[in-house]
Amino acid sequence: MKKHEAQRLAWDLDWNLLRTFMVVVEERGITAAAERLGLKQPTISNALARLERRLDRRLIERKPNVFEVTRAGQLLYADCVEIFGTVSRLPIRLRDVKEEVTGHVLIAVASHIASPLFDEALSDFHARHPRATFGIQVMTSLDVTTAVAQKRAAFGLCLVHTQDPRLDYRVFYREFFGFFCGPTHRLYGRTGLALEDLRGETSVSFQTDHTSDALRPVALLRARAGVDEEVVGVSSSLEEVRRMITAGLGIGPLPLHVVRRDVRDGLLWRLPPYQDPPAIDIHLVFNPQASLNRAEAGLLALLCERVEALPLPARTYGPE
């Protein structure tokens, strides 16, 4: 594309086409994108075709049962994410001109985040800046990193399997997972069990409990215990995994420090292994290219300071 053609493209291109293309890639299909945008499927198809004609590039290979983003499409998607993030932050940047240290802090977290370090930082920050407001959205770990990459969240706390080179990561705390069962399970109340006693049991778990995902250590342990083939329930929410375990659907993994009270109250029963449970790191994730208001920047800086000042052993919860 010649220089004058590139300049004309910037003035003539319908920016809504870029937003539509970004959603198509994220939803991996025309139909799903139409549902998310509240539009009809032909409208999405026509928009994608218009964009491809305007750029003179094939962006997505569309065949029956095939959805593949081309190299040109991958490059365009990365730029779309940056554009969308910049536009979505405009109200915050403009509001910050007059708000100074006040502002709204939007935080994205995975469902089972439980950390005194995080709680204390929120408390201290609120005491210093009582006019700042907070929004905490619970989502899957993958969606947390997506929200941070798209600058829809100031930062996130989540599991991480593959790091996005556009983002910064800090190990925020370390937790340990154990297997548990509910009061109606046949293993409830039994002591002296070995890992072999779990073989063949039905189980429930998290969506990231795979050898190729963030809970790889847990997945490997489930495979070693022989419960990897009888999964009867999955969820991205810790509360729902806990619900299925207590309801007796099967045994399942949970963070030791999160469910300590449930064990004490008799709602859950700890199963082997009792020694050397799998360790999982929870990361603080943020986008160094995001334009944060003063409240967002201040809380993020406080969290980073606390992480730097506190050695990892002091940010490690369990095992007892």
Q: Is 177 exposed, middle or buried (0-12, 13-18, 19+ CB in 10 A)?
A: buried
pLDDT of residue 48: 87
pLDDT of residue 188: 97
246, 121 contact by CB (below 8 A):
no
SS3 113: coil
The residues of the chain that CATH labels 1.10.10.10 are 3-96
Beta bridge partners of 84: none
pLDDT of residue 190: 95
The residues of the chain that CATH labels 3.40.190.290 are 174-279
Alpha carbon distances (Å) from 225 to 203, 218, 229, 271: 11, 10, 10, 11
pLDDT of residue 219: 79
pLDDT of residue 86: 78
Q: What is the mean pLDDT of each run of 10 residues along the chain (320 residues)?
A: 55 80 88 88 88 86 80 88 79 59 87 91 93 92 92 93 92 93 96 91 81 71 77 89 95 92 96 90 94 92 95 86
pLDDT of residue 266: 96
pLDDT of residue 93: 64
CATH, range 3-96: 1.10.10.10
pLDDT of residue 15: 79
18, 78 contact by CB (below 8 A):
no
130-168 CB burial, b ≥16 within 10 A, e <16: eebeeeeebbbbbbbbbbbbbbbbbbbbbbbeeeeeebe
State which CATH number among 3.40.720.10, 3.10.20.30, 3.40.50.720, 3.40.190.290 fits the domain covering 174-279: 3.40.190.290
240, 96 contact by CB (below 8 A):
no
The residues of the chain that CATH labels 3.40.190.10 are 103-172+281-315
Q: Return the CATH fold of 103-172+281-315.
A: D-Maltodextrin-Binding Protein; domain 2 (3.40.190)
Say how far apart CA 230 and CA 205 lie, in whole Å. 11
98, 127 contact by CB (below 8 A):
no
